[in-house]
């Protein structure tokens, strides 16, 4: 039994855990739910228990560490969740130290979208690159920026807010205070909102708009063209700023790729003169919901590499 790590994906309701070895093989998995109403101490204790079980099943000695993907802003150095709208009670709670205390194993926290970006680099669409940007289309739009194999955090862990890039300065109002944020024009929520404006009914979902578009409904198709336009403006900005080889899209609206991709690429070609010159790729994520789990599991391996490097420097 060689070295392995444990990745944890802490969702708003789900708790998913996997033991993964350094070659990316999944050795064990757990999938359950987390009861946030019981308070953070109780959730943390449940996480520790699951990790303990997985570890007992796989190997007690080979565990390199535990990575946890959390949907919120993380103070990486302090190991604290600074803000997490979907994790009631977790704000300013010392998640890392509490779990570390219970398990005696190094714990690394990371924002879930950043973890997903790392996961796609390690075992997904970005296996051949060290620089990529992941854009996750969901209720909102999140993302992760990986520079030279490492997550770009910024000085308070708030980098990668791709969903709040302005794509239409006078566009739809956003809860953040801005108008025309990318996520107000290209998220699943935005697709449903446009569906309501197109009189598809008050309970219309992005999936329903997708089905209508597949059936040839012109208004539904125009919604996805509009999504492609917004994504294209955002992607062209990213390409002009970063000149990375790879940009990955993930999330619920991905099956509608053929509906939004043509206008998306049209916008990107028009708005980024670097795009066509060097084989820049815009692709679909391949790990789906597992990306965050893989990325979380990669964190302890990555930190270990750093430690070995800095150890031999000193």
User: Which residues form the interface with a second copy (CB under 8 A)?
Assistant: 131, 145, 147, 152-162, 164-169, 176-179, 233, 236-238, 240-245, 270-274, 277-278, 309, 312-313
Which has the closest alpha carbon to 167: 145, 135, 144? 135
Residue closer to a second copy (CB basis): 6 or 249: 249
Least distance between a second copy and beta carbon 201 (Å) = 30
DSSP 8-state assignment for residue 180: S
Q: Beta-carbon neighbour count of residue 54 at 10 Å?
A: 21
Residue closer to a second copy (CB basis): 250 or 272: 272
Residue closer to a second copy (CB basis): 115 or 165: 165
- Assigned token pair, 251: 């999330």
Q: Beta-carbon neighbour count of residue 1 at 10 Å?
A: 10
Residue closer to a second copy (CB basis): 7 or 142: 142
Which has the closest alpha carbon to 231: 185, 177, 285? 185
CA angle 177, 158, 107 (to 5 degrees): 140
Least distance between a second copy and beta carbon 310 (Å) = 9
Least distance between a second copy and beta carbon 276 (Å) = 10
Residue closer to a second copy (CB basis): 57 or 270: 270
Specify the DSSP element, H or E, that contains 208: helix 206-214
Residue closer to a second copy (CB basis): 255 or 273: 273
Q: Say if strands 246-251 and 132-137 run parallel, antiparallel, or are unpaired.
A: parallel
Q: Which long-range contacts (CB under 8 A, 24 or more apart) does 61-64 make?
A: 61/1, 62/1, 62/2, 62/3, 62/4, 63/4, 63/5, 63/6, 63/105, 64/3, 64/4, 64/5, 64/22, 64/106, 64/300, 64/301, 64/304
SS3 call for 219: helix
Least distance between a second copy and beta carbon 304 (Å) = 15
SS3 call for 167: coil
Cα separations in angstroms, 165 against 178, 180, 237, 279: 9, 8, 9, 24
Least distance between a second copy and beta carbon 275 (Å) = 10
The alpha carbon torsion through 85, 108, 246, 254 (nearest 10 deg) reads: -40
Residue closer to a second copy (CB basis): 167 or 220: 167
Least distance between a second copy and beta carbon 156 (Å) = 4
Residue closer to a second copy (CB basis): 31 or 240: 240
């Amino acid at each position: 039994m060689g070295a392995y790590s444990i990745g944890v994906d802490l969702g708003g309701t789900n708790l998913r855990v996997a033991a993964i070895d350094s070659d990316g093989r999944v050795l064990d998995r757990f999938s359950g739910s987390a009861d946030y109403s019981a308070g953070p101490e109780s959730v943390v204790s449940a996480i520790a228990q699951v990790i303990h079980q997985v570890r007992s099943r796989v190997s007690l000695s080979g565990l390199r560490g535990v990575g946890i993907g959390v949907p919120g802003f993380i103070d990486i150095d302090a190991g604290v969740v600074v803000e997490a709208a979907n994790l009631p009670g977790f704000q300013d709670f010392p998640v890392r130290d509490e779990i570390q205390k219970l398990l005696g194993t190094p714990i690394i926290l990371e924002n879930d979208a950043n973890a997903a970006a790392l996961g796609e680099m390690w075992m997904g669409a970005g296996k051949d690159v060290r620089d990529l940007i992941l854009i996750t289309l969901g209720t909102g739009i999140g993302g992760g920026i990986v520079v030279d194999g490492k997550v770009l955090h910024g000085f308070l862990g708030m980098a990668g807010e791709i969903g709040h890039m302005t794509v239409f300065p006078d566009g739809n109002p956003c809860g953040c205070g801005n108008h025309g944020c990318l996520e107000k024009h290209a998220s699943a929520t935005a697709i449903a909102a446009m569906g309501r404006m197109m009189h598809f009914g008050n309970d219309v979902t992005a999936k329903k708009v997708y089905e209508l578009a597949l059936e040839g409904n012109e208004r539904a198709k125009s919604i996805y063209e509009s999504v492609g336009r917004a994504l294209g403006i955002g992607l062209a900005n990213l390409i002009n700023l970063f000149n990375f080889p790879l940009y990955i899209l993930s999330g619920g609206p991905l099956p509608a790729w053929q509906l939004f991709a043509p206008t998306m690429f049209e916008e990107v070609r028009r708005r980024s003169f670097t795009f066509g010159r060097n084989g820049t790729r815009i692709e679909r994520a391949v790990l789906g919901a597992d990306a965050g789990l893989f990325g979380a599991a990669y964190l302890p391996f990555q930190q270990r590499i750093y430690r070995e490097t800095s150890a031999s420097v000193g």
